Amino acid sequence: MAKKRVCVIGAGPCGMTALWNFAKLESDNQVDVVCYEKQKTWGGLWTYSWRTGTDGYGEPCHSGMYRHLWSNGPKECLEFPDYTFEKHFGKAIPSFPPRPVLRDYLEGRWTNNVNLKPYIRFSTVVRHVEYNERDKKFTVDITNLETDTSLKESFDYVIVATGIFNVPNIPDFPGLDTFEGRILHSHDFRDAKEFKDQRLLVVGSSYSAEDLALQCMKYGAKSAICTWRTKPMGFKWPKGIEERPLVQKFDGNIAHFKDGSSAEIDAVLLCTGYKYSFPFMEDNLRLRSTLTMFPDNTYKGLLYFMGEDSRLFYMGLQDQYYSYTMFDVEALWICKYILGKLPNEPRPLSEMKENSKEWYEKRSKLKTAHDDIDFQTAYIADLCKDTGYNPDVTKAGEMFHTWENDKDKNIATYRDQCFTSIFTGTRSPAHTAPWWQAKDDSIKAFVNKK
Ligand code: FAD
Ligand code: NA7
């Protein structure tokens, strides 16, 4: 029988773990897997680039990660059961690593006793995907960005793993046109030092707002006002950071807020999140959503409802507390589904829809971050049950609750806390300096590699 062809779009943490799981399931005799990645290398958002706007090929820059970004959650919550941080670095390391350390760890797993590079076509962008009901095949239009040549390929299954945090949501405010300082979205933020001695207005009240305000103060900004639309973050902020209701308009460099107050500012950082964007998917295959704990029109948050015989998957669509381990169990579910190794799948469409309805109902009751954590823990537990993935990963749920409480206690010191690995039982050591003072985010400084 001819091998089924599987197209994976994107070689970030999601796409890579799909390739890794196919390889571990020794599926080469059953499926022919090809991954298209528009960048020159793997890693997705974890690959830092100084570039903003367009990349070297003239394509939109993908990653909005910045210098001196440190993990915003404990590494013990994203550790792979089969490949621990201790195994990778040969020693225990602190709980909140900087970006290069996490990227190195990911790369370690992708190269440990496995060779995934042959599956990937780098510098190749997917421009269009459509489905032909008659032969049950996807046609995928790709362009090799090095040679500027295009091609159509045919596949039986498509896995979209292009991420949800790369197309910025950029609102407008009256008076910004004549504002004289710098205005940028967090996607274009690269180095906090640029804002030394400046008075900042940070729009938004989520992870990016929290981290950019802290980063900029850490690297010498004069002050930061975080302005919120729905509710304030409510942390006990270090001196210099405050929160105010939403900015209404700008008059020159004066920002006017909803509570009638005003302030003179030097730069505006729009930390206003991202848009789900899959422009390369044909209309009826395109998932549409805002940031959510469980995406609409999917079974298990993964299989897109195309009809009775769906062959399209999306990965990593959820607002992320869990990340790498969630992607890993999602990938295992998808791989086993395609290989026919999930005992209860495929189910009739009506059953799938009924199952999803239960998740949507639970989703509608979520109120706090702690509710979200429990919801995501239950989601992962469900996928573990289906796939046989190590259910101990869900022990991270308790750690996430502790982490939220640590943030509430002191937002400037939560990254100095130490957590215990679920899989080695080792409690992480403290870093040599508190996060607020630690300015060297190299692997050498963090891991103390010789
Ligand atoms: P991505 O990492 O975005 O990778 C998608 C890949 O698809 C990219 O390589 C891209 O080039 C490729 N691609 C896109 N379109 C196409 C196309 N048309 N054709 C071919 N290739 C394409 N998570 C944590 O766990 N801890 C953190 O501390 C953390 N910090 C974050 C900080 C920021 C600023 C942001 C934005 C996110 C952060 N995250 C963090 C969450 C992050 O979403 C995940 O860790 C992870 O990167 C998601 O992986 P992904 O594979 O879904 O997407
Ligand atoms: P999020 O988590 O989607 O948050 C976006 C924030 O922006 C949120 O507080 C929104 O307020 C706010 N927002 C969006 N539009 C507006 C307008 N028009 N006016 C005012 N405020 C607005 O994005 P983040 O970038 O913080 O985080 C995404 C990922 O990056 C995350 O996983 C991190 O790990 C890093 P709302 O609450 O909707 O009123």
What spacing in Å lies between the alpha carbon of 308 and ligand 1's midpoint?
30
Measured from the CB, is residue 316 less than 6 Å from ligand 1? Answer: yes
Can you list the domains of the chain with their CATH numbers? 4-166+274-403 (3.50.50.60), 176-270 (3.50.50.60)
- Reported as a pLDDT band with limits 50, 70 and 90, residue 449 is low
SS3 of residue 167 by DSSP: coil
Segment 228-240, tens digit of pLDDT: 999 999 999 999 9
User: What is the structure's pLDDT at 307?
Assistant: 83
Question: Does residue 450 surpass a pLDDT of 60?
Answer: no
Looking at the CA of 69, name the nearest ligand.
Answer: 1
How do beta strands 31-36 and 4-9 pair? parallel
Cα(31)–Cα(11) distance, rounded to whole angstroms?
18
Condensed to tens digits (0 to 9), the pLDDT of residues 94-147 reads 999 999 999 999 999 999 999 999 999 999 999 999 999 999 999 999 999 999
3-state class (DSSP) for residue 129: strand
pLDDT computed for residue 308 by the predictor: 83
| Ligand 1 pocket test target in 143, 165, 270, 292 with most atoms within 8 Å of CB | 165
Give 171's contacts (C-beta < 8 A, 6+ positions apart): 203, 270, 272
CB of 202 closer than 8 Å to CB of 224: yes
Ligand in closest contact with the CA of 258: 2
Pocket test for ligand 2, best of 211, 229, 231 (most atoms within 8 A of CB): 229
Closest CA to 204 of 176, 238, 242, 230: 230
Query: Among residues 300, 309, 61, which one has the least CA distance to residue 185?
Result: 61
The residues, any chain, with a CB within 8 Å of residue 54's CB and separated by 6 or more, are: 60, 61
Q: What is the DSSP pairing of strand 157-160 with strand 4-9?
A: parallel
Q: How far apart are the first and last CA of the chain?
A: 52
Burial class, 98, CB count within 10 angstroms (exposed 0-12 / middle 13-18 / buried 19+): buried
Atom of ligand 1 nearest to the CA of 99: 28
pLDDT score, position 27: 87
- For ligand 1, the distance from its centroid to the CA atom of residue 251, given in whole angstroms, is 37
What kind and span of H or E run contains 404? helix 396-409
Whose atoms come closest to the Cα of 271: which ligand?
2
pTM, 2 dp: 0.98
Mutate to test the pocket of ligand 1, among 162, 164, 185, 373 (most ligand atoms within 8 A of CB): 162
Categorise residue 397: left if φ over 0, alpha if ψ from -120 to 50, beta otherwise. alpha
Interval 210-261: pLDDT, tens: 999 999 999 999 999 999 999 999 999 999 999 999 999 999 999 999 999 9
278 lines ligand 1 (CB under 6 A): no
Q: Is the CB of 78 under 6 A from ligand 1?
A: yes
